[in-house]
Amino acid sequence: MTERITPGSLLRIDETRALEGLKTHIRKSLDAYDAQHADGILLGLSGGIDSCLLAAVAVHTLGKRSVHAAYLYDRVSSLRLRQNARLMSNWLGIELTEKSIEPVMDRMGIYSSSEVKITSFSGPLNRLLQKVYCLIYGESPFISSLRKGSAAASKGDDRSTDLRYAAGPIEAGFNSRHITRRHLLEAEADSRKFLLLGAANRTEWLTGWFVKGGVDDLPNEPLAGLYKTQIRQLAAYLQIPDEVLTVKPSPDMMKGITDEFALGASYGHIDLALDFLEGGVVKKDIVEAGVTEAEIRLVEKMKNLSSWKRSSPHHPPRADGGPLGGLRLALDHGPSDKITG
């Protein structure tokens, strides 16, 4: 009987080799940071699968005494994610600092707009509002934000003038939280002589699902060579607690809005479409796995419109299609780096 084609089977990696590659990257990064004064690493532990995997890999690499985590929350943060952050820190035996960013958000007026107040009521209402937005403007708020940023970066015609007013305060809140978290983590890392690591993955990097200048746009992002599908595979391999594995990825700022709802497709299909666009898997296989033409066009649009976000002088690690149990994993900086396995 022929095995059914799935995102997991098409993008499968060699877990042992991937783990060793990540460990080597972390060790080299720490050595390069400051061999004499670095006292360990710091990461933001959100309670989601990416940061939890990064924490686990870091402990495997350096031991629990050298890994430190911070959970930075505000009034809209998910209780379950907070519990996951505590669960992971206890499971790994690492230090966890918890700090509210709410006073900073208050001073910036993030909670005061009518749009933010309306979206604080319920998840079903927020999902309905996004669907209405899509019907009115013909695209999601996320695509609108990418279009606006792309136009600003190229100093071209910004066709999303109306869109920025419709979703502007919500986007501002999303961006401000991520940028504030980055600033706080950088200050903590500097004061304690820690190397700061980010937990962005390859899917986020290629679709633009991160805030430019935010906590997922750090100079060192060890997981940025792995698609979300592969993050899940490696997390399961390391036997990360089920509470973390089963939580739905979300931006953690609006009730009822998950990553996949905001992006407009499942991570499995996004990953396959990205890999196809990058010259990896073939179209016949991804179509058999359920990816539609509309999803390919959507992912291509996100990738193209988000190119301005990837213009940072600090390029996260990249991976390009090929064998490593299914994918080459590149853990050095630069879009052309490859480990051909």
Task: Give residues with Cβ within 8 angstroms of 278, minimum separation 6.
Answer: 206, 320, 321
Question: Residue-wise pLDDT tens for the chain (341 aa)?
Answer: 456 889 999 999 999 999 999 999 999 999 887 655 667 999 999 999 999 999 999 999 999 999 999 999 999 999 999 999 999 999 999 999 999 999 999 999 999 988 888 888 899 999 999 999 999 999 999 999 999 898 887 775 554 555 555 677 888 899 999 999 999 999 999 999 999 999 999 999 999 999 999 999 999 999 999 999 999 999 999 999 999 999 999 999 889 999 999 999 999 999 999 999 999 999 999 999 999 999 999 999 999 999 999 975 544 444 333 323 333 443 332 232 332 22
Where are the chain's structural domains?
A: 7-311
Model confidence, pTM:
0.89
Q: Which residues pair with 196 in a beta bridge?
A: 42
Domain 7-311 sits in CATH at 3.40.50.620
Please, are residues 210 and 204 in contact by the beta-carbon 8 Å criterion? Answer: yes
Q: Report the b/e string of 68-104 with b at 16+ CB within 10 A.
A: bbbbbbbebbbebbbebbebbbebbebebeeeebeeb
Distance CA 169, CA 245 (A): 31
**78 in helix, strand or coil?**
coil
